[in-house]
Amino acid sequence: MSNFDVLIINIYLLAIFTLLVKTKTITQIYRLFKLLNIALFIYLIIVIIRDNVLLIDVLFKGTPLIFLIGVIVQTEVILILNILGIKGNSLFKNTLEDNIKIELIKSIDHLSGKKIGALITFEKNTSMDEYISNAFKIGATLNSELLSSIFYPNTPLHDGAVIIRKNEIVCAGAYYPPTERLDIPKQLGSRHRAAIGISEISDSLTIIVSEESGNISISVDGFLDLDISKESLLLYLEKHLQK
């Protein structure tokens, strides 16, 4: 087995592991392994030049690898295309419109800065009707002022969750069964446990704003990613709410 073959195998394993890490939403580890992927790709180019690897070897062994890397950086590619003005009508489609994302980020930034606790769930394929039926119906297009006001302290709905379907705030004051996992840090409160609980029984994505610290967290697929940035939040929205 040549050095080139060993390198290809190592990058395959690293790429697959990175994809799994990304799926489990562990943001910091994902970023680390993405940097390692870039470093290995540069090293691959060096090996090709140094060892005079045939072009046919690169095409035959590297094409599936390029596809794998493409899957891994899919979210970033979408963001770059959006910045360049290439919209998703022909290539990608997202359940959230760009102006709705802006309103959402504005609201979460405001709530986080004021340390106002919030629980915001996005319905995906699993119906949330069971929880909507027992909550207070809103039925309004998402905007930052409305979303923020729902969670202001001492208001009737501030303790429950808001459920968003596409671009609409469907309801507020929804309550979820908390997770029964025993490995959840004790300092996490009822909002975080409810967010994990609903992500265990549905494919929804839930944003949590801590009223103690103002930190933003995400729960999806039974996993919780704590203290994420607004940039990471946008990446989550692009990835998990993409059709």
Total Cβ atoms within 10 A of residue 49: 9
Domain extent, residue 23, equals 3-72
Burial of residue 100, with CB atoms counted within 10 A of its CB: 0-12 exposed, 13-18 middle, 19 or more buried? buried
pLDDT in tens, 221-231: 899 999 998 88
CA 127 to chain centre: 19
Residue 165, in any domain of the structure: yes
State the pLDDT at residue 66: 54
Q: Does residue 84 form part of some domain? A: no
Instruction: Verify that 62 and 112 share a domain, yes or no.
Output: no
Q: Which two tokens stand for residue 161?
A: 């969750």
> pLDDT per residue over 190-209, tens digit each?
999 999 999 999 999 999 99
Taking 50 as the pLDDT cut, the residues of the chain under it are: 1, 21-28, 55-56, 59-60, 63-64, 83-93
CB 122 within 8 A of CB 79: no
User: Which is nearest to 224 in space by CA: 238, 206, 204?
Assistant: 206
In a domain, 92, yes or no: no
Domain count, the chain: 2
CB-based contacts of 91: which residues, under 8 Å, 6+ apart?
81
**C-alpha dihedral, 225 to 124 to 139 to 141, nearest 10°:** 70
CB 108 within 8 A of CB 233: yes
